[in-house]
Chains A and B, each alone.
Chain A
Amino acid sequence: AQSVSQHNHHVILSEAASLELGCNYSYGGTVNLFWYVQYPGQHLQLLLKYFSGDPLVKGIKGFEAEFIKSKFSFNLRKPSVQWSDTAEYFCAVILNTGFQKLVFGTGTRLLVSP
């Protein structure tokens, strides 16, 4: 079955530290890849997406992610985190099903200390 793995369940960083959150998926076909973020007390929202083309994609708030097809990975990065980046981050894939079935990872809870 298709699945998404996020390696880190909890990450604690100090402000200005660099961030990399791992994401691997298991699916041999064409996939579209996403990172969603849920800030405390808020709804889940799209951070960035990859459909095709340049494997390095940029999202909102200085986040970027790199798609490495050979490794089935789509890691999220940010050079310098801020306290306001404290949130839960979900990697997700959408399969070519003809409908909006997102398969999510279990999430990584990021805490940035000021």
Chain B
Amino acid sequence: ETGVTQSPTHLIKTRGQQVTLRCSSQSGHNTVSWYQQALGQGPQFIFQYYREEENGRGNFPPRFSGLQFPNYSSELNVNALELDDSALYLCASSPVTGNTGELFFGEGSRLTVL
């Protein structure tokens, strides 16, 4: 177990709806990243939060947004859902924000958009 927990584990939405995914980071970790893993693909970086601010973003549109709270937990929000948003969303925490690449992943939230 990594100590990173995500909720919900599975959910189904329809196109155009909005979704919020939640993540509790491992104790002592102040950096949270979110990744999208489509079927048959590797995880793709969405964004990273450090000290409650977004400090890095991948090639995802603005309808993907996030928050980090003072206790370092985080949310990923996706508005105006599209069919291609169907994927496993992974949260990862790290004790540092630099280039160490040593991330501790949760088990993911599987989103299906119909």
State whether B43 touches A32 (Cβ < 8 A).
no
State whether B101 touches A44 (Cβ < 8 A).
no
Question: Is there a chain A Cβ closer than 8 Å to B25's Cβ?
Answer: no
Total A-B pairs, Cβ < 8 A = 78
The main secondary structure of chain B at its interface with chain A is: loop
Size range of the chain A interface in the assembly: 20 to 34
Given contacts A42-B107, A49-B101, A99-B97, contact A104 B4 (CB under 8 A): no
State whether A106 touches B40 (Cβ < 8 A).
yes
The residue in chain A whose Cβ has the minimal distance to the Cβ of B2 is: A43
> Which of B41, B50, B90, B99 meets A44, CB within 8 Å?
B90
Question: Is there a chain A Cβ closer than 8 Å to B31's Cβ?
Answer: yes
The residue in chain A whose Cβ has the minimal distance to the Cβ of B96 is: A100
State whether B48 touches A106 (Cβ < 8 A).
no
Taking CB atoms, residues of chain B closer than 8 Å to A105 are 42
What residues of chain A have their CB less than 8 Å away from a CB belonging to chain B?
4, 32, 34, 42-46, 49, 90, 92, 94-107
Of the A-B pairs whose beta carbons lie under 8 Å apart in the complex, a sample of 18, sorted by A's number, is: A32-B100, A32-B101, A43-B2, A43-B106, A43-B107, A44-B90, A45-B105, A46-B103, A96-B99, A98-B97, A98-B98, A99-B56, A100-B33, A100-B99, A100-B100, A102-B101, A104-B43, A107-B41
Excluding A4-B42, A44-B92, A98-B56, 8 further A-B contacts by CB distance (< 8 Å) are A44-B105, A45-B105, A94-B100, A95-B99, A98-B98, A100-B92, A100-B97, A100-B99
